[in-house]
Structure 1
Amino acid sequence: MPIDRPHSVSVSGVIIDDAGRALLIQRRDNGHWEPPGGVVEAGETITDALQREVLEETGITIALPAALTGVYQNMTSLIVSLVFRCEAADGNPVTGPETRAWRWAARDEVAELASEAYAIRVLDALDTMNPPAVRAHDGVKLL
């Protein structure tokens, strides 16, 4: 079946603190908890988009290079998301126009806060010894 539009590409950054917790944000538009991120804009490199999105949503500048930890394909919305494990270089978490709240979440808290499709991204990023994951989902559940 032909698709009348291409997939869009997004990036997310999983910032991990010294205690091994991941920074999650609660989005203003839908109230969901997830790692900070968004769509790669035309003419923007993947790393530029990653730095921009994380800074816009958290107030934190990340260090590069960041480690790719997974590729996630939303089969419903036609979005391919590249997720990176990141280290904070400067700044502290803040709320803003896109972010209602933020919190550092331990591994066992991630699945309680985020839907399966987003929790797995954070859990994959916390598993530093594994190669990047490649997963498909329907926007909520893994397929």
Structure 2
Amino acid sequence: MNNNVFKRACRNVLFIMMLFLCCETTYANEISRINLDDLENIISDNKGKVVLVNMWATWCPYCRKELPGFSSLQKKYNGKIEIIGIAFDENGDQTVPTFLRKWNVTYTNYLAGEDLTSGFSLLGFPTTIIYDTNGKEVNKHIGYVSEQDFEKEINEILE
């Protein structure tokens, strides 16, 4: 009988370890590279919603300051907006998934493909581009913007 209890305990431990490993792998695999064509398709697929495309990096203090606000806005305007984060970290494959988990980021994020920097003429981080419900670019912010200021813009577009 003790042998059966031991076997059952071992199976449970192995099962929990496998779940943990699968969850870690799945999360890391969700962070893929995106190029300009992919981004244009995502914006087009989200017509009817306000789309915020936030270009950021883990080493940027103002980018980190904006992250909680984006998660809050995505939750508050669920179904009415789409927030897309694009990380421009040099070793993003290794750093970004862990960073996103640590910061509890809840909106979709990608790693920047090679053509995104030139496609947007990036001058600094963070850079956030706002698209209206028809997929038309309506504003571009370079530098930190508060959650409240983004919310005002979102409300104006949705009216």
Give the structure-1-normalised TM-score.
0.25
Structure (1 or 2) with the greater strand fraction? 1
Give the structure-2-normalised TM-score.
0.23
Structure (1 or 2) with the greater helix fraction? 2
